[in-house]
Structures are given as structure tokens and as C-alpha cells.
Amino acid sequence: MEKGKFIVLEGLDGSGKGTQAGLLVEEMKRQGRRVYLTAEPTSSSTGGMLRDALGGFVGRDAYELSALFLADRIFHNANSINGIKKYIDSGTDVICDRYYYSSFAYQGIDADLKWVMDMNLNCAEIMRPDLCIFLDISPEAGEKRINDNRFDREIYENVQSQKRIRDRFFEVFCLLKDRENIKIVDASRTVAEVSADIIKIYNELKEN
């Protein structure tokens, strides 16, 4: 049986990952693919701890967050009910909103980046994506979108943090350029324009 494709969407807060993930799933289904849409943090108990921390309800430092994300990611990959590996092995494509690249960029601004990367990349239970699509916007544009669409804020959702995180994303992409398939899409344009680029990239992946 042909294995499914594993595709990750990444970006700053407000970059439109959720919207674009949904549109990509619709297109893949239209093409006759079986698709599973998921996200990190997961709905597991560890994911709940992470959401509480990201929401500012429980204080945790970058190292503790990194370790919690690692545990949640292992569960996300390996659990026998709805794990990523189970879907991929069954021939179902998986679209994931955020993955270890976010750990590298977000926790990697305050924790040791090499440590965060090594424990994820060297973990046998954590799958490597076939493709990562990074939706690139300025921190200022992301701030405006967040202000326009919701009232609650997470701990990293401020322009100063987002500038550091964007720089870290691009540093990580340089480190991984020979090891991973990473594509950067200008997400400052209309939803339709961004979606068209993402679908083109997906079709190129499917043909290879």
C-alpha cells in the first residue's frame, strides 16, 4: 500500500495556517485523496497542559515547554488510535498545523536551540514531514490580523516576540535546508492567492 504524504503548515501567529490548512484539505479531497487534518498541541492531557501555559494560565519556562511539546509530539505520532504514523501507513495524507519547526522557533528563542532540535530530530518516534510550508508575514501584519479576529492572546503573541521568532524560523530553515523539504509562501496576499501557491506546491510533491 502506498503511504500517505505528511505535510506541515507553519507560520507566525496570524499567518492564516488554519484557514489554509482547511483549503488544502478541501482540494486534496477533491482530487480523491484521503486526508486527516490535525494540529499541535494535541487534545491529549499533555496538550492541555501546553495550552494552559501558552494561554498564560500556568507559568513554565522554555525548557519545560520544549519537553512538554516533545512528549505531546511523540503521542501525536505514535498513539494507536489517531496517531500520525497510523494514518500515513494506511495511505492517508496528514496535514498538521504546526510541528517541531514551531518548537525550534518559539522555545528556541529562550532555550538552547541545539538541544531543542536534537531531542526532536533524533527521536525515532517522531516522523519527518514530506513537506513543510511556511506562511510568511511580517509580525506587524500578524498583530493586525489577531486584533481584527479575536480578543484572547497567547504568551508569544506580541510584535517583539514574533520578530525574534520569525528570525529564528529562518535560522532553523538554513540549518535544515539540506535535510528537509521546506517551501516559503508569501502569506501577506489574499487568501485565494496564498491557497493557489500552496496547492501548486502540493501538486508538485504528489508528482514526485
- What's the Cα-to-Cα distance from 198 to each of 91, 173, 204, rounded to whole Å? 21, 18, 10
> Is the bond into 41 cis (omega within 30 degrees of 0)?
yes
Question: For the segment 27-73, what is each residue's pLDDT rounded down to a tens digit?
Answer: 999 999 999 999 999 999 999 999 999 888 999 999 999 999 999 99
Question: For the residues 176-185, what does the mean pLDDT come to?
Answer: 96
> What local confidence, expressed as pLDDT, does residue 155 receive?
75
Alpha-carbon dihedral sign for residues 74, 75, 79, 85: negative
Query: Closest Cα partner for 104 from 198, 6, 10?
Result: 10
Q: How far apart are CA 23 and CA 48, in angstroms?
A: 26
The model's pTM is: 0.93
Question: For the segment 159-176, what is each residue's pLDDT rounded down to a tens digit?
Answer: 888 999 999 999 999 999
* Domain residue spans of the chain: 6-207
> What local confidence, expressed as pLDDT, does residue 102 receive?
97
Cell of 82: 489517531
Q: Which fold has domain 6-207?
A: Rossmann fold (3.40.50)
